[in-house]
Amino acid sequence: MSTDQYTVVDPTTKYPQPEFEEQQQPAPGLATEMTGPAPDHGESTYRGTGRLAGLKTVITGADSGIGRATAIAFAREGADVLISHLPEEEADAQQVAELVREAGRTAVTFAGDLSEEATNVALVEKAVQEFGRIDCLVVNAGRQQAVQDLQELSTEEFDRTFKTNVYSLFWLTKAAVPHIRPGGTIITTSSIQAYEPSPTLPHYASTKAAINTFSKALAQAVAEKGIRVNIVAPGPVWTPLQVSGGQPADALPTFGAQTPLGRAGQPAELAPAYVFLASAESSYVSGETLHVNGGMPTP
């Protein structure tokens, strides 16, 4: 395992390989309760270099997983962070807030269910109240609940998945764009599921494909405002989403083994992608999908 994100090591052995412990938590799951192995969010390894100095940022689903790693990275790169999370994830969110403050940056927490339109509007209002503007909006929160058979997929679950993953993206960006200045960015989160959907995740995979398309259309719509929109498409990443119904319990021991690198990704390996897309280094990149998936081929 590397000491920071700049140390070059063999990627196949950088993090634990399967098999993992079989485990389950009630949704939405907590990072602090994961075992065998505990996910790496970069708490001890991410080293910042001032690439996002002074930026005011909003990250949804920032209590755990990819959002947590991104919040830690953004803070260590010099950004203030609003951490959006579900009320049940308060304990994890407060841990992230403390890590942001330890980096010398402002942390704001916001609890609410983004499957409801009013919550998205209130989130943007909170960010503007606290920061005065939004320089980077990271839309990362998502709902993923596997089903063994299509007959098990209820209309309620299908609807809630779309409300959380797609409608929230629409509501958030619509509310946020007027508060993003030229040079600002929006980063959304798709998935390998948009390209190689699992039979247990038809609803989730469909939302990730929709996120891809919506984001590419949005990138064209706001380009004249000087706002860039890009997408990160993770592969299998070891997060609470997987152990709280996102994967069948018997699939967890070999989770990630199907990738060419032979293992699941860790949240800390996704954060640099978001940092790049939020930074001035990617100033000529918009409407792009950046795949971080362990080598899984995509169109």
What is the token pair recorded at 205?
């995979």
Give me the pLDDT at residue 244, please. Answer: 65
Give me the pLDDT at residue 1, please. Answer: 57
The answer to whether domain 50-292 has CATH 3.40.50.720 is yes
Q: Is the dihedral of CA 262, 239, 200, 166 positive or negative?
A: negative
Mean pLDDT of the chain, nearest integer: 93
Q: Per the residue annotation, which of 15, 167, 195, 204 is the catalytic one?
A: 204
User: What residue spans define the domains of the chain?
Assistant: 50-292
Model confidence pTM above 0.75: yes
**Radius of gyration, CA atoms only, the chain:** 18
Give me the pLDDT at residue 279, please. Answer: 98
> Tens of pLDDT along 174-211?
999 999 999 999 999 999 999 999 999 999 999 999 99
Q: To 5 degrees, how large is the angle CA 78–CA 81–CA 83?
A: 150
The amino acid occupying position 105 is R
Nearest to 172 by CA among 143, 144, 137, 142: 137
Nearest to 80 by CA among 141, 127, 140: 127
Is the separation of the CB atoms in 72 and 99 below 8 Å?
A: yes
Q: Which residues of the chain have pLDDT under 50?
A: none
Active-site residue flag, 204: yes
- φ, ψ dihedrals at 49, nearest 5°: -135, 20
